[in-house]
Structure 1
Amino acid sequence: MSSSPSCWESITSAVLPANPTSREAALREQLLEREAAASQRAAVQRLTERADALQRRIDDVVRETAAAQEAASSAERRQREAEDQRRIAVRTYEMHEEKLRVLAKELKVKEGRFRVLDAILTS
């Protein structure tokens, strides 16, 4: 083996401190950084999942709102149709009432004539 440092040794010596104690400290620090990064990734993942769940709920509410608005619109349309039918029924009833009054008046006149004719015949 040669006395010159190998390629690997030169790379590791550049990255890692020469002192084994400081090497340990550097490794611990890297481990803590990795744990913190993993914890942050997990937190981001949980927040992303929660945001997705909330977005799905918002989408559901939007669909339900649209359905409720459509139902309300349909109910209002049916109410207007029912009101129109009621008005038609009232007008028809009033026309029939007027017709009945006219017929009752005609009947009263005819009954009066009939009594006069009956009185003439019986006398």
Structure 2
Amino acid sequence: MVAAAAITVGFGGLSTTTAPAADADVVAYLVNVHVRPGYNFPNGDVAIAYGRTVCDRVAAKMPYAQLVDQLKADFHTSDYYQAGYLINQAVNELCPAQIWQLRESAAGYTA
């Protein structure tokens, strides 16, 4: 992964540093999800497409509880961990800019 340098801008002796933009890591997502038992994606493209739908749902501000329930239904499981893991991997690796939105939505959630 290519790391961007932080930019420092000075204002009258003060300086602020902006963090580099977060980039997607599709390979890490595939390693953590496609190879992991339980999801049974037929290929990497389907796994990526599903992860992107998770990102779209988070961006659309779908409540975390509803997101978990949707994934559990999609994978025919009652296992919160399986759903939560996929949500976490999708957001962290495919749409890291949405991490704040996911955290806001998940605040106070109990399984």
- Tell me the TM-score normalized by structure 1: 0.18
Return the index of the structure with the highest Cα Rg. 1
Bigger fraction of residues in helix: 1
More contact order relative to length (CA 8 Å, sep ≥ 6): 2
- Tell me the TM-score normalized by structure 2: 0.19
Bigger fraction of residues in strand: 2
